[in-house]
Structure 1
Amino acid sequence: QHFYFGEVIVLIPKTWSPKLHYGDVEQESIDTMDVLIGPKANKISSNAPYTLQMKGCGNMGEFIHLTDAFMKDDSEAEKYGPRGKVLVHEWGHYRFGLYDEYPLSDKDRFYISSYGFIEATRCSLEIDGELYNSETGNKGCEIVDGLPERACRFRAKSEKKSNYGSLMYKQNLEQITEFCTDDSTKGTLHNREAPTRQNLECNGKSAWEVIREHEDYKNSDTAAIDDTTPKIRFVREKYHPKIVLVLDVSESMNEDRKRIKLVQ
C-alpha cells in the first residue's frame, strides 16, 4: 500500500454541456493532465494505450494516452488486459520512468542465457509458455545459427495464480500482479539478461529498484490504510468568450478623418 490514488480530477471539455456536479476549474488544463482520453491518432493506428517518455529511466513521462474505444469497448480493452492492470503498467512508465520488459523487435525475442540456454525474452523467467511459428501456426521452431528462426514466437501461458512479475511484461496474464524486483522470490525475480528496454534504459535494474529510488517511494507512508477509494472530482473547462473586432478600411473611412479617429 505504498501507492494509491487519493484524488482523481476529471477535466470535462468546454464543448460538453454543463451539469450540476461539474465543479469549477482551478489550475487544471489539458496541458497539466496526467492521462489523456481521446480518439486514435489515425484510422490505421490501434487502440493500444501508450505513454510518451522523453526523459529516461526513473524520470516522469509527458502523459498517458487512452483511446475512447479502449475506455468504452470491453472487447477492445480485453486485447490489452484488465483496465486496472493496464493503467498500472502505463503509470509505471509515466510516474516512475519504467520501461517495457517484452521484446520490441524480432532480434530481441530470444537470447542465450549465461547458463547456455535459449530463453524467450520475458520477466520473470517463471512465466511458462510454448514456442510456435507465427507464419505456419505450428508448434515448435527450427533453430538457426543458435537461436529460434525469425518467425518463431513465445506464447506465454496465462495461469490462475498470482504474485508473479512483471507488470511491465504482459499485464494481461492472470498470474502477473507484481513488478519484478531484485530479491530471491522466483516469481518476481528480475531477469537482468533479457534484451528488454527496461534493462537497456535502466542499466539492468528491476522495476522495484527504480521505484525505490523515486521520491514518491521515499515520501510514502507505509502505515496500513483501510480505504484506498479515490475521491473523484469533475471540473469543466471554462468557455472563454471570443471578441471579434471588425475594421472598416474602405475609401469612405477617409472622409472627415474617420480612419484616424478609428485608430485613435
Structure 2
Amino acid sequence: MMMMEGLKNKKKEESFHVIHKVPAGDSPYVRAKHLQSRQCPQAIKSFRHLCSKQAQDSLDNLLIDLYKKCGQIDQQIQLLKQKLRAIYLGEAFNGKTTKTARSHGKKFQVSIQQETARILGNLGWAYMQQNNYDAAEVVYRKAQLVEPDANKACNLGLCLMKMGRFDDARCVLGDVVNRRYSDLSLDESNKTVARAEEMMKEIEELRMKDEVSSVEEIMERLDVMNEWTPFRSRRLPIFEEITPFRDQMAC
C-alpha cells in the first residue's frame, strides 16, 4: 500500500515537472513554482476588471488552463459552465458568429458551434477527473450532437469503459476505427484510430477478466453450498414415507 502511494506521489511530481518545465525534486525553486502556479489565477482575477471586454474571453481561456494545471477542477468546471451560459445568452464572441483564434502561430476562424463543442469536450474531461462519469457521458454526447469529433468519441468511449459499459464503448469506438469522422488530418486520424483500436483491445481484456471473475465467483458459491447443505437421502420421497411403516411392521 505504501509503495502504491509512493508511486502516485512520484507520478504527480513528474507531471508537475513536465507541465511547468522545472527541475524535478523539492528544491526552493520547484516549491516557488508550485506557489506561483496557484497564485496566478488570483492575480488574473484581481486585474481582469481593468481589461477590455474583448479580452475577457482570452482571460477565461487562460484561467481554465491554469485551473487544469493546478488541479482546481471545481473552479475549472464553474468557469466552463459560465462560458456555455454566455454562448446560450448570445454574449460570446462579442455578439458575432465567429472569432479569430490562434494556434501554433496560425490564425483561423472558429464558429459558435465549434466553440460550444470544444467547451463541452473540456467540461466532459473535467468531470472525468472527478470520476463523475454520468455527468461526463451526458456532456460528451451533447458535444457530439453539436459537432461530431473523433477525439471526443474516444473520450466518450473511455468514459463508458470506466462505467463498465463495454458494449456501448465498443459501439462508440467502432465509429472511430471505421473512420466515420472527417474532422482530422490523415496523420491525426491515424493516431486517433490507433488509440481507439488500443482501447477496444483493452475492452476485450477487461471483458475476459470479468468472465473469469464471474466463473470463479459461481464456483466459490457452489463450494459454500456443498459445504453447508445438510445431507439428504437420494431415495425418492415415496420411500421416505414408507420407511416408518416398514419399521413398525418389523416390530
TM-score by length of 1: 0.28
Query: Which structure exhibits the higher relative contact order, with contacts defined as CA atoms closer than 8 Å and separated by 6 or more residues?
Result: 1
* TM-score normalised by length of structure 2: 0.29
Larger Rg: 2
Which is richer in helix? Answer: 2
Please identify which structure carries the higher strand content: 1
